Chains A and B, each alone.
Chain A
């Protein structure tokens, strides 16, 4: 696959960093979002950006299996999963999230803190003496990936509605995906396939569970589920 102009690795690096930054911004945006449909759509855009990042990485490293991974991300996480979730949200009929546990300004502050933590952790992986393309690609995207992961987790913690917790889980997984791409240039295909399958099944199961929760408690509020105790 040849583009009309010859892209240099530097150009690729810049594009990737740009896209990673957009992903991060989008993620922080979801922290403050109250409308559920918007969350889902933001997730879809995030996944498409991640697919693009994967594709560029594949191009510059001539790793064909990452093309497959990128394609799968685009189709599954950028298309199928958001569609399923949107359908579910419409059936349940909720549109707004109730108040999160921690109010919005504070949540965004915490998300910023987690981003800093992500950079701190990525520092230890950064070896400036290596001038290869690989090393440079590694630093920024890894920080974003870790931040994405932590913020996703925080979202799960912060929200009450089961569906939003699902969203948190999915962005957590996105973060892991990005980390894998930036560090090791993708895991073996069989592992990636396994993870995709995992995500798909998780979403399907959570979809069913969400219905049940609604029926049993007449509300999506997860804090009403208190039976799993010692």
Chain B
């Protein structure tokens, strides 16, 4: 009990601190790639801190759901983070929720955020909610297939189990099923975190907003919670991706050396993944909204191919 609490606390601190760093890093890298100077990697920390100190304006049309949504988004993202192995193969709360709980907890956050967007009565909020729910709905089958491929290999939906199995079969990541599943999940990651080519996180034009439209009316500490929550969600999904498919460096125990080593490898993997995302964002244009289902259909096909190849090629 106490052990779980201590581990959860440690992982919690890690999540809270690293998430804004990751967002900041991707932003800076994008800027540099676009030959701009951009902000430095700690800017997102400053943004969150600034928002926390500002006053808040709540729309007159909104109800308690508008106020509850930021908390739910933030808290579900953190809880999911505690279920995913970061530096060791054993995540603190992995017994209490596996990959299905992860997916559905994030869906809970999204549900309330969408409600919050519609609560304001503004058409932008409605539009954002509508598009966000649509894209997540289309992304679900692809995500599930990719996750199932990994879960079937590990014979469990428990993320710690999956990590343990992956560590023990270290060269298995070159198997075609794993590669295809990685590709499918990567596309879904882009959709879920709202990055180009699915959504532009830096825009406020009506035609191009999805996530931004839902949170248009939020300000002050609520906006801080939402932004932080979004970056935590991004961190969590990227961690899921890298640690399940490239589990090097995950230590199997909680010794100081193991933790330190695991932490270094983890940061390195995140940096690589972040660079990949920044590259993809810079070299692609945002897709027209009704082309996004095509992209997600590709992810679905990749996922089913991954599944089929588990028993055709092994």
A touches B (Cβ under 8 A): no
A residues bordering B, Cβ < 8 Å?
none
